[in-house]
Structure 1
Amino acid sequence: MTNLLPIGQFAQASGLTVTALRHYDASGVLPPAHVDPDSGYRYFRRDQVRTAQLIRVLRQLDVPVEQVRGMLARAEAGADLAPALAAHLEAAEHRLAVQRALVHGLLTRLSEGAEMNHRVYVREGDAERVLVRAATVRNRALDGFLRTAFQDMYAVAGRGPLTFTGAAFVRYHGVCDEENETLVEACLPFWTDGAQPADLPEGMSVHDLPANTFACTEVSGPAAGFPAILTAYDAVAGWISAHGFAFAGPVRMVYRRWTGATDDPGNRYEIAWPIEDPGRGQRPWGVGR
């Protein structure tokens, strides 16, 4: 037992509390070297101090316990932890940037209101036939999915060739951010009386979307980047609720101008939400801009 430290001394040496050490024992992250069968006292080897110190620093960096366990296993196998730490730092910096933008947007809304920065108008939309590729993603994977989806669909459209009838758009069936994943549909509208796509690859389909009335706003420049663009969705949703309309389908982000780079200030999107008059059970004909 001369090479073992009781849990109290080990806590002092490692900088972890006794409570934390018991938790890491229970979770399998740092089991003691010996547990007295009579008293239940835990004892740790002296060479476990460095492991415990590493755990303390990783938890201070908000590395989840499950991820800490995996990193320790890789370290014991001789793997370099630098790539994993660099990836964690990059993710933390991304979260911080998103949080800063969200706080800035929230402060603006509290002082000015979302509608002050987003003029909402109503437009009519005809029935459309669209080429669709869908996936369930979080925001981090959204750009990669959309790029691949549209590349694949343009390749299929070129074999037709299909005649496009409007701008490409994306339908969101829920909130797509870092906390929530949702069904996302990349859509290309094309002429129903012309060439039709054939031999569609797996995961690609053709949908006929009904005519709709849309409550809309446009965003460009910094306001078109994530998470600032969420304010535009909120402004349209707030307008729909305030004017007594019903939500009639998933919201769209329409590419009115696309430079090819996600954060380019030259991008311009239309946020378009299908609406209907709940009192009449139909589209609100006669509502103007």
Structure 2
Amino acid sequence: MSVSVAGRRGRPATEDVGVDEELLGIGAFAARARLSAKALRLYDRLGLLAPARVDEATGYRYYRAGQVEAARLVALLRQLDMPLARIARVVDAPDGAVAAERLAAYWTDVETRHAGQRTLAGYLRGRLSGRSSEMYGKFEVDTVDVPAQVLITESRHVLADELPAWIGAALGRLEEAAGECGGAAGTPFVAYHAEVSMESDGPAEACVPVADEAAARAWAEGRGRARGRSYGWSRRSGWPVPGSPRRRWRIRRSWPRSRRWRSG
């Protein structure tokens, strides 16, 4: 139900009551959107669905009734097991056509993965039931020539259970970087340089074809310079680097530090 927050502690006395009457508390909004308050707080922190207003004194969140459709869209995309990074790209699309294209690209990846899993499951059933020799005869290997492509890539050693989330996040970063390289020039893909399973971590390489080779080289060199500066600082500071480096993103708190455990 709609609530008026005029007169609540911490709200300006000059607040427009007409606007406030359109706001829903997080509990009422969660009920309409069929999401939990915990999920709404997570989506706020990730930038997927920001509240219309946050009370500065209490940290309590308020949403507009018009945001219900966006909240339900996020919930439906989660039912497709879409990683949050790719949901953000769908939600942030400039229009419905682009959002639909990004959803279609994700679902193509899902169907490709499921097709491979279906084939593997069939092979394993045959192997476990003693019909392995029959299964081997059903596999055909074709070799095809494809045109040369300019790629920007991101590699990582990753286990199978981490793979879907990493692919979505890595391709999201690369597709964003493609804008600096003349735009994407083909379908993104993932190359596996070794087996990726629950016991083997690849590595895997996320790849996005781009149009401008010179810009792509400049982009790659820029990343290399940043990494080189990090290693240089480490050497100058007397800190040895015993293993692979990590990249860490700092996320600004979106709620008052002293009240971060409030229910709103």
Q: TM-score range by the shorter chain?
A: 0.3 to 0.5
Q: Name the TM-score, length of structure 2 as normaliser.
A: 0.44
Q: Name the TM-score, length of structure 1 as normaliser.
A: 0.41
Structure 1 or 2: more helix by fraction: 2
